[in-house]
Amino acid sequence: MITKRTYNIAILPGDGIGPEVVAEAIKVLQAIGTMHNIEFNLNFADLGAVAIDKTGEALPAKTLQTCIEADAVLLGAIGDPRYDDPTLQVRPEQGLLRLRKALGLFCNVRPVRAYDSLLELSPLKRKYVAGADLVIYRELTGGIYFGEQGRKENNSYAYDVCGYHIHEIERIVRLAFEAARLRKNRVTLVDKANVLESSRLWREVFNEIKKEFEDVETNYVLVDNAAMQMILNPCAFDVIVTSNIFGDIISDEASVICGSLGMLPSASLGVEHSLFEPVHGSYPAAAGKNIANPLATILSVALMLRHLGIEIGALQIEEAVAHCLEESFLTEDLCIDKSEACSCSEVGDAVATALRVPVV
Ligand code: IPM
Ligand code: MN
């Protein structure tokens, strides 16, 4: 049910191809707004290298305020080769990590599916990939990303602590179980419980939550084995729940299943705030060339609409994207012969046009 007719959306185009893919996503968002008489007020703000260049900070206070006041945030990408040196004091990535933490976005949802029309593009064999449809629930505000880090012993020893509180595990595991009930009713915990104490706590908490969801099938897969199973048998997975760093790694790996990282959307959810962004990065080599794939960002808008309760809009976008893939509106990352590729804006236009087809 649609309960509100006006939404304030913070738009953070960011760096590299971010502004281009966000422009296409906005086209699609506004087309949905027009169709359903919903007003989306867009409030633009800077994050990442673009923000560092203007203000010296990767997450300016004004940007954070815009995000706090918004009903949802749409982000393009952050990262710039000028700031690639990981020893720099100020880096674009800090902006994203601080924003996730400040908004309390503990649950990162990354759905991965094999579109029939793209099966030939996956480097994996069709018979293994066909029908794959999984979602990764990645913990996003804890673990090794946010643990104590530093140097000791005259700079000759470095450490990054991976710690989790029970409540941090509980809240994301619960969301993963709830998601499974709406899907194939299966949750896999990916961890390294044969080695890490933090993983053993994840298992304990997982087993407790599982008691509330007796109808849901569960298993554990160690992360090294999961990395292999993801390629060997992606159809075995439904919902995967895992820690921050393991989720980061296996979600890039999972993108291979659908043929391009340019297809993967994500939602980062907290109690009060939510942010939607493509899984891919800023792809500086393609910036300004109108060749980037906008579909991950467009599909992130679908996740945003679903989260805002506008399910019809989400379904329309997902159907329009599938239709455009079938009709071969493909950017060059999805083309075997790049001379046949559509531009970023052509694909955005094609999706916005395909939305006009009523959903039955
Ligand atoms: C991601 C990215 C980020 C992460 C980087 C840019 C900090 O790789 O969203 O997956 O590691 O979380
Ligand atoms: Mn990543």
Annotated domain spans of the chain? 1-111+261-360, 123-257
From the number of C-beta atoms within 10 Å of its C-beta (0-12, 13-18, 19+), residue 360 rates as: exposed
Which atom number of ligand 1 is nearest to the Cα of residue 251? 10
- Residue 243 CA to ligand 1 center (angstroms) comes to 13
Task: Give the model confidence (pLDDT) of 3-27 as tens digits.
Answer: 568 999 999 999 999 999 999 999 9
pTM, entire model: 0.95
Residues with catalytic annotation?
A: 145, 192, 224, 248, 252
Nearest-CA residue for ligand 1 atom 7 is 93
Q: What's residue 79's pLDDT?
A: 97
Map 273-342 to HEC letters: CEEEEECCCCCHHHCCCCCCCCHHHHHHHHHHHHHCCCHHHHHHHHHHHHHHHHCCCCCHHHCCCHHHCC
Q: Which of 208, 239, 237 is nearest to 225 (CA)?
A: 237
Place 358 in a pLDDT band, splitting at 50, 70 and 90. Answer: low
| Model pLDDT, residue 117 | 87
Per-residue confidence (pLDDT) for residue 142, from 0 to 100: 98
Three-class secondary structure of residue 178 per DSSP: helix
Give the nearest ligand 1 atom to 244 CA: 12
* Site to substitute for ligand 1 among 12, 80, 93, most atoms within 8 A of C-beta: 93
Residue 63 · residue 43 · CB < 8 Å: no
- C-beta of 105 in contact with ligand 1 (< 6 A): no
Closest protein CA for atom 4 of ligand 1: 248
Share of the chain above pLDDT 90, in %: 91
pLDDT for residue 2 = 52
1-111+261-360 and 123-257: same fold?
yes
**Which residue's entry shows tokens 């980037």?**
292
Give 360's pLDDT tier (boundaries 50, 70, 90). low
Euclidean distance between CA atoms 155 and 138, whole angstroms: 32
Q: 122 falls in which pLDDT band (50, 70, 90)?
A: confident
Average pLDDT over residues 21-45: 97
The continuous run of DSSP H or E covering 9 comes out as strand 6-14
Q: For 123-257, which CATH superfamily applies?
A: Isopropylmalate Dehydrogenase (3.40.718.10)
pLDDT score, position 234 = 96
pLDDT at residue 166, as a whole number: 98
Q: Can you give the pLDDT at residue 145? A: 98
- CATH architecture label of 1-111+261-360: 3-Layer(aba) Sandwich (3.40)
**Which ligand has the shortest distance to the CA of 296?**
1
Q: Say how far apart CA 242 and CA 114 lie, in whole Å.
A: 21
Q: Locate 24 and state its tokens.
A: 């296409």
Query: How many Å lie between the centroid of ligand 2 and the Cα of residue 78?
Result: 11
- DSSP-derived 3-state class of residue 133: strand
Q: Mean per-residue pLDDT for 347-358?
A: 88
Provide mean pLDDT across the span 159-188: 98
Better pLDDT: 221 or 259:
221
What is the per-residue pLDDT across 245-277, written as a single tens digit (0 to 9) for each? 999 999 999 989 988 899 999 999 999 999 999
Kindly state if the Cβ of 96 falls inside 6 Å of ligand 1: yes
The residue to mutate among 12, 96, 266, 283, having the most atoms of ligand 1 within 8 angstroms of its beta carbon, is 96
Pocket flag, ligand 1, residue 93 (CB < 6 Å):
yes
Region 231-247: mean pLDDT is 97
Tell me, using a 6 A CB cutoff, whether residue 252 lines ligand 1. no
pLDDT band at 163 (very low <50, low <70, confident <90, very high): very high
Instruction: Answer for the pair 239, 261: CB distance below 8 angstroms, yes or no.
Output: no
